[in-house]
Chain A
Amino acid sequence: MAATLHHSGAPIVALRGVGKTFSSGTVALAGLDLDVREGEFLSLLGPSGCGKSTALRIIAGLTEPTQGGVEWPRAIAQVNNENRLGFVFQEPTLMPWTNVSNNVLLPLKLKGGASEQASGRVAAALDRVGLQKFAAAYPRELSGGMRMRVSIARALVTEPELLLMDEPFAALDEITRFKLNNDLLQVWQALRTTIVFVTHSVFESVYLSSRIVVMAARPGRVFTELAIEAPYPRDQTFRTSAEYAALCRRTSDALAGAMAAGGVE
């Protein structure tokens, strides 16, 4: 298991020459080519303004590109696009007026799935993030980390093939973030889903990813990419290893290069 290669190499989604110019005239992305390969943990790393969140929203279909397009090479994903995607925002983005269980149920409810089956899937999703005991709690009764877990459970409840995460842990304290990093890796390995993870943290991207795409700003584009070939499962030992430190340095250098290429803010 330790050295299992997660990705088969076939792209699950591909951005081709994607550009995005906002109505304000800001060029968020220009000529972005990006393959997301099946089963990989891909991080988009870059300074703010490099368009990494915009790229994620374009993959999700929440924003239309002004140039280029998104390809879904595998027919199944194309037919029923929204069933295949999970999205986790920077904020937990829960409905405050209802409990954890109903929040996680939401995607199934919106798709009109069978309700007996749905409650089992909600329980399973909550179980995966360790919140089975909090099904009846309201979001405001939970800590920031737990709210983010609910948000992840909600994204997992449809068993997505592609999980898109937009700086989900940026607002959390370091201890909580490390814990959620580990749990996310476990979920990823158990479900064998594909994850695209947007972050501005070098350390987080190296710890989690099998591949990092470093982006540069003005206009947003791919600067370089790095394969992180350290085997999974990764844990505390990896986090403190010399290998991790070396990978972080390489990635950090790449990011510094991207920032130089993107000009001064």
Chain B
Amino acid sequence: MMLRRTAQERRDRALRVVLPVIVLALSLAVWELVVRLASIPPYVLPAPSLILQTFVADRALLTQSLLVTLITTLEGFLLAAVGGVGLAVLFNLSRLVEYSLYPFAVILQVTPIVAVAPLLLIYLPQPLAVLACAWIVAFFPVLANSTLGLNSIDRNLADLFALYGASRGQLLWNLKLPSALPYILGGLRIAGGLSLIGAVVAEIAAGSAGAGSGLAYRIVESGYRLNIPRMFAALVLLSIAGIVIFYLLAFVNHIALRRWHESALEAGS
């Protein structure tokens, strides 16, 4: 009985990997076939094989652009992490600070970044403007989640800390931050993807005027030149970057929580 169940679980897990791969391969094959049979020109729709060739041919250029975008994303993410958690801690320590600043954090969040980016590009040098965009988009989920986490402490544990005369610093470090960790990590997982989006939006807003060389800039530039295969190649790279960021953060989340938090425990253990 037990054995049969694990065998079925294994088959289940394999299917979850194999099925999407089959779907992907089939779609690519159909795409390739349609392009070839209908003789669609590459500036309308390039075949997957051509995109792959473009990858290889432009690899130096594309890798360099990827690096630029990734560095911006990483910087934006780190600033969002530090800023979001830091401000949440500040809010938690002082109601006055929270009341004073929270509305502006919300305004920053609800104003579409696409509309803000051109303004930022006027006042800031381009790399800084791109970074600011990445930060603005990624910052709020970290702040909101961390605030929620810091307020979600076990009341009995808080009583216990009071009983032993814990200082505010001890309370924060030994109770509030560890309690908030799953929430903070949840916020960071969202922020990772968003900071990539922020960086891309700003690069696109900078457009041809920009001196930057990020992947999104490459897409815009290739569009102007009708180099559609390179647009696709850059887009695929962006997708892969997003996927890697997502799984990297999911992995960090798992490592940090696997011994104690419900969300990270193996089913049935």
Contact = CB atoms under 8 A, between A and B. Distances in A.
B124 interface: no
Interface in A71-102: 82, 85, 87, 89, 91, 93, 95-98
Nearest to A111: B164
Contact of B156 (A61, A89, A107, A140): A89
Interface in B143-161: 154, 156-157, 159-161
Nearest to B159: A62
Nearest to A91: B156
A96 B260 contact: yes
B239 interface: no
Max count, chain A CB within 10 A of own CB: residue among B163, B170, B259: B163
A138 interface: yes
A82 B178 contact: no
Interface of B is mostly: helix
A187 interface: no
Contacts of A264: none
B158 to A, nearest CB: 10
Contacts of A87: 159-160, 163
A123 interface: no
A109 B161 CA distance: 11
Interface residues of B, number: 21
Contacts, number: 54
B154 to A, nearest CB: 7
Interface string A124-139: 0000000000000011
Contacts of A111: 164-165
B163 A85 contact: yes
Max count, chain B CB within 10 A of own CB: residue among A61, A96, A110, A111: A110
B36 interface: no
Contacts of B159: 57, 62, 87, 89
A107 B164 contact: yes
A153 interface: no
B259 A138 contact: yes
A141 to B, nearest CB: 9
Contacts of B181: 97
Given A109-B174, A110-B165, A110-B170, A93 B260 contact: no
14 contacts: A82-B164, A87-B163, A93-B154, A96-B260, A97-B178, A98-B260, A106-B160, A106-B174, A110-B161, A138-B259, A138-B260, A139-B260, A140-B265, A158-B164
Interface of A: 57, 60-62, 82, 85, 87, 89, 91, 93, 95-98, 106-107, 109-111, 138-140, 158
Interface of B: 154, 156-157, 159-166, 170, 174-175, 178-179, 181, 259-261, 265
